Amino acid sequence: MSKFKIAGNTTLNGDIEVAGNKNAALPILAATVLTDDKCHLSNVPDIADVRAMLKLLKSLGKKVDKKGDNQFEISGKTDTKKLDEELAKKLRASILFLSGLLAREGQVEMPPPGGCVIGRRKVDTHFQVVDHFSGSVELMDNGNYFAKIDNPQSGKLFLNEVSVTGTENALILAAATPENTIISNAACEPHVADLANFLAKMGAEIEGIGTNRLIIKGSKKLSGVSHRIAPDHIEAGTFAIAAACTGGDLTIHDAVKNDLISTSRVLKGFNVDFEFLDKKTMHVKPSQLKSVISKVQVGLWPNFPTDLMSPVIVLATQAQGATLCHDWMYESRMYFVDKLNMMGASIIQADPHRVIVNGPSPLKGQHLSSPDIRAGIAIIIAAMIAEDESIIDRVEIVDRGYEDIENRLNSLGANIVRIED
């Protein structure tokens, strides 16, 4: 177990580089099972979820070689049809091995996936994908899932929900199926597009990348490739929010402007003073925060991402006025706000999906615990702007999504000390 001791009243200034996209790296790592050839991946974020994914690849028989900072070479065959239960239960992304192993091995046994507890996260869409490709899934007596495909068949697939990982599993299986696959109602986040670009490099023909309708002509023989993981737009937005909350002057590199359109709109809604110096460089200036947006609501891409709702709630505590924050996707996303109220925030929880934030509120340091990745980083931001010192327990949860976060923030002026229990 790890904890952070955070000194308050700090301001973030300087330059920071955005890491590779966590939610792109995980499906791309899973997709490397589609080929025995070498796949060289760069800009891979050094986070706990990626390390767990690499261990899963090794447990399947794949060879994983570290080639430098944030670089890996993955090669070789899989030699098992069963996911390691202990590893798979640690992260939600283990479900992404479903399609790759079905494509290569014809069957797979796997436990229900793990991950953050932010609400009910069904696997129905993944099973719909297997069924579409003429496969089957059954629940075993030991609680694991057993999936099987003898002869993959494809065609038109309309997903029953706009699921990111469901779309990714469909993409991976379609890339290994020679027939044409048309996926409608697909998720189209930047990380989904990055996976599609990776699969296209491997030899799949994919039309509609970045849209909710994908046309894929796959191949049973996919090749090894070199690929740079796209920058993490969630991390870029997180740093922008942290700079705004602390009144800092921060330049964020590898912040892709086209991936931050909805985030930029919300930042403007809080009167954050920022500009893009070019298509990949964002400059956040000291701002007089004011809630002119009144309501922030998450939505399907390209609308505001749910993964930035927790940090935005902290931003709202520092802005003049009242803000309604609504996350209809996850019924447990808002349950961390009681921790902010303990620090002095004025937040009313209207229901599991909506809170009303009144600001600005001076925050006071507290001894708190991180409930999930995004709430964890939000509490860290709150601690940096609070009076006095805060202790944040269970920060290993934050390590799952943010690379070396304390040292990167300390380089900007934060005062964070990691303590290992």
pLDDT for res 333: 87
> Which pLDDT value is given to residue 397?
95
Catalytic position from the list 3, 21, 22, 399: 22
pLDDT bucket at 121, cuts 50 / 70 / 90: very low
Catalytic residue, candidates 49, 254, 307, 327: 307
CA distances from 70 to 15, 46, 61 (A): 20, 6, 21
Residues 6 or more apart whose CB falls under 8 angstroms from that of 276 comprise: 255, 257, 282, 283
Catalytic residue among 121, 148, 354, 408: 121
Tell me what pLDDT residue 122 has. 64
* Annotated catalytic residue, options 43, 90, 92, 116: 116
Model confidence at 118, pLDDT cuts 50, 70, 90, reads: very low
Q: What pLDDT does 120 receive?
A: 42
Does the pLDDT value for residue 153 go beyond 90? Answer: no
Taking 70 as the threshold, does the pLDDT of residue 103 lie above it? yes
pTM for this structure? Answer: 0.95
Domains and CATH numbers, the chain: 2-19+231-420 (3.65.10.10), 22-228 (3.65.10.10)
Q: What sign has the CA pseudo-torsion 399, 404, 407, 408?
A: negative
pLDDT of residue 91: 85
Lowest mean pLDDT, pick from 34-48, 77-91, 223-237, 334-348:
77-91
Spot the catalytic one: 3, 21, 23, 325.
23
pLDDT in tens, 303-336: 999 999 999 999 999 999 999 999 999 888 899 9
Residue 114 has a pLDDT of 63
Min mean pLDDT across 12-21, 110-119, 273-282 is at 110-119
Per residue in 252-266, pLDDT (tens digit) is: 999 999 999 999 999
Residue 165: predicted pLDDT = 95
Provide the mean pLDDT of the chain.
95
| 23 in active site | yes
C-alpha count within 13 angstroms, C-beta hemisphere, residue 406: 17
254 contacts 236 by C-beta, under 8 angstroms: yes
Beta strands at 367-369 and 354-359: parallel, antiparallel or unpaired: unpaired
Compute the CA torsion angle 199, 201, 204, 209 (nearest 10 deg): 70
Question: What strand order describes the sheet that includes 205-207?
Answer: 156-158, 180-184, 213-217, 205-207
The per-residue b/e assignment along 273-299, b for 16 or more CB within 10 angstroms, e otherwise, is ebeeeeebbbbbebbebebebeebbbe
Contact 249, 285 (CB under 8 A): yes
DSSP string, 312-380: HHHHHHTSBEEEEEE--S-TTGGGGHHHHHHTT-EEEEEETTEEEEEE----B--EEE--SHHHHHHHH
Annotation says 333 is catalytic: no
Q: What is the pLDDT of residue 119?
A: 41
Tell me the average pLDDT across 382-388: 98
Query: What pLDDT sits at residue 1?
Result: 86
Give catalytic status of residue 307 as yes or no: yes
Q: Is the pLDDT of residue 195 over 70?
A: yes
116 pLDDT above the threshold of 50: no
What is the spatial distance between Cα 6 and Cα 389, in angstroms, rounded to a whole number? 6
For residues 237 and 263, is the Cβ–Cβ distance under 8 A?
Answer: yes
Q: How far apart are CA 49 and CA 90, in angstroms?
A: 8
Give me the pLDDT at residue 94, please. Answer: 92
What does the H/E/C string look like for 60-88? CCCEEEEEECCEEEEECCCCCCECCHHHH
pLDDT value at residue 117: 41
Percent of the chain past pLDDT 90, that is, above it, reads: 90
Q: Which of 91-95, 241-245, 349-353, 387-391 has the lowest mean pLDDT?
A: 91-95
Tell me, yes or no, if 273 is annotated catalytic: no
Whether residue 354 lies in the annotated active site:
no
pLDDT of residue 213: 98
Active-site choice (92, 104, 394, 400): 400
Beta strands in 218-337 (DSSP E): 226-228, 249-253, 274-278, 281-284, 295-297, 321-326
pLDDT at 306: 96
Q: Is the pLDDT higher at 1 or at 75?
A: 75
- What tens digit of pLDDT does each residue of 52-90 get? 999 999 999 999 999 999 999 999 999 999 999 888 887
- The answer to which of 116-130, 308-322, 386-400 has the lowest mean pLDDT is 116-130
